[in-house]
Amino acid sequence: MKNIVIFGAPGSGKGTQSDLLVQKYGFRHISTGDVLRAEIKAGTELGRTASSYIDKGQLLPDALIIDILAATYDALGPCEGVIFDGFPRTIPQAEALKQMLADRNTGVGAMLELDVPEEMLMERLVNRGKTSGRADDNAETIRKRLDVYRSQTAPLVEWYESEGLHHTVKGYGSLEEINAALCAVIDAL
């Protein structure tokens, strides 16, 4: 079983590329952002809590998102592999993921970073906001999310490097090119 962390800033294309990897490999896809947006849509208590962070471009507390991730993962059942998208976003989350998978006799096989220049991210997210209907795809919240990425999430590159799991892929160009670069890493695992 292959567990892959797909990593990158907001707007780096994690969701789009995850969908392509699901089609090709039959992996399951866990996007913590999608899980939270489904809770918001369903009007649950968790959804209300999540909105209060998401709308400000802030991260949910680690303990809460770690519990959500574990419950989502355990609900999948046996499968070829799992793509983790949008999780981990902090070092405590990466440590929790490592422990959670070790407890289930598995681990992360690779962390694939989609590298995209910052000015391209801003442009992609502003454009996405025109159709996504996402409350957090507006210029002010995007700026905040990019700040949060830089300060809390980017340090995970070094963390996964020290685990020997980090791979960088050029995250711009055609979707096919990006996908081929990701598949080359996955196929070599």
Which parts of this chain interact with ligand AMP (CB under 6 A)? 10, 32-33, 36, 53-54, 57-60, 65, 86-87, 89, 93, 136, 145
Is 128 one of the annotated active-site residues of the chain? yes
Whose Cβ is closer to ligand AMP: residue 57's or residue 81's? 57
Is 150 one of the annotated active-site residues of the chain? no
Position with the least CB separation from ligand AMP: 33
Measure the CA–CA gap between 122 and 3, rounded to whole angstroms: 29
Taking each helix axis as running N to C, give the angle between helix 62-76 and helix 91-103, from 0 to 180 degrees, rounded to the nearest 10: 30
Query: Under DSSP, is residue 145 helix (H, G, I), strand (E, B) or coil?
Result: helix
Residues 6 or more apart in contact with residue 70 via CB below 8 angstroms = 100
Is 37 one of the annotated active-site residues of the chain? no
Beta bridge partners of 170: 115
Catalytic residue, chosen from 124, 128, 150, 170, is: 128
Task: For the CB of residue 59, give the shortest distance to ligand AMP in the complex, in Å.
Answer: 4
Is 134 one of the annotated active-site residues of the chain? yes
Whose Cβ is closer to ligand AMP: residue 127's or residue 189's? 127
Measure the CA–CA gap between 139 and 76, rounded to whole angstroms: 35
